[in-house]
Amino acid sequence: MGRQRPAAHARFTVGMVRPACPARYDARPSFPRMCMNEHDIGVRTATPAAWTFFRQWLRHPLSTASVTPSGRQLTRAMMRQLPADARCVVELGAGTGVFTRALLEHGIAPGQLVVVELNAELHALLSRQLPRVAVVHGDARDLRDIVARVGCGTTVDAVVSGLGLLAMPRAVQQQILTAVFDVLGPGRSLIQFTYSPAPPVATGLLQELGLRAERVAFAPLNLPPAFVFKFSRCHG
């Protein structure tokens, strides 16, 4: 018999509260990740945040999507996918907050941004640095409950994800995608990056969930080079 997951209400906390869930997703062995600098190819000096991110990758390589935070080119590519009228946005797998800060600079109000981070140390770092943002220590599979408790209504305008979906088992991918599209409003999308030119979710699972994936951007200067996908409902 597999390990029983705790009830959803016990698996996430907000702010500087004792973490309520383990810093990992059940995952199959991951593909190599060789990203060795913090931003893009021109940055040579790692910041304290980058070292924190690297330490967490060493401890939890299957639930931390890369060795270092995302680069500037990838960040810009992700932000360009946001709908012009986006107000309430969820970020999954925030890491050290590269996308989080970009979302704020893009014009998303702190009170309209919900950040979900599974890793306890990265959650604590973000909570200290971004006290006006709802930084939740929790599991993306519980997103509907999280948004209901600390979000900005019953639906959101976009979900931005840095989760390592490619390294996750099919069942976990299915649970996460179901949770994401439970909270996305009509016509809204999940914005996800991956290091593979193919979608990080198999076509069969997408069809089963009534979703489609479109590759919308490429960040060749990111290390490793990254691709941006938008996941949307097939019928609005």
Percent of the chain with pLDDT over 70: 69
Counting beta carbons within 10 angstroms of the beta carbon of residue 28, is it exposed (0 to 12), middle (13 to 18) or buried (19 or more)? exposed
User: Which residues on adjacent β-strands are paired with residue 184?
Assistant: 156
Tell which residue, 167, 145, 127, has the closest CA to residue 11.
Answer: 145
Least-confidence region, from 5-14, 24-33, 49-58, 162-171: 24-33
Which is higher by pLDDT, 4 or 149? 149
**Distance between terminal CA atoms of the chain?**
39
Residue spans of the domains in the chain: they are 71-233
Q: Give pLDDT tens digits for 90-146.
A: 999 999 999 999 999 999 999 999 999 999 999 999 999 999 999 999 999 999 999
Question: What confidence score (pLDDT) does residue 152 get?
Answer: 77
Tell which residue, 129, 128, 93, has the closest CA to residue 114.
Answer: 93
Q: What does DSSP say about strands 134-137 and 13-14: parallel, antiparallel, or unpaired?
A: antiparallel
Which is higher by pLDDT, 201 or 1? 201
Question: What confidence score (pLDDT) does residue 63 get?
Answer: 46
Q: What is the largest CA-CA distance in the chain?
A: 49
Q: Give pLDDT tens digits for 61-101.
A: 544 444 455 689 999 999 999 999 999 999 999 999 999 99
CATH 3.50.50.60 fits 71-233, yes or no: no
Across the beta sheet with 226-233, what order do the strands follow? 13-14, 134-137, 113-117, 89-92, 156-161, 184-194, 226-233, 211-219
Averaged pLDDT for residues 204-215: 99
3-class DSSP state for residue 234?
A: coil
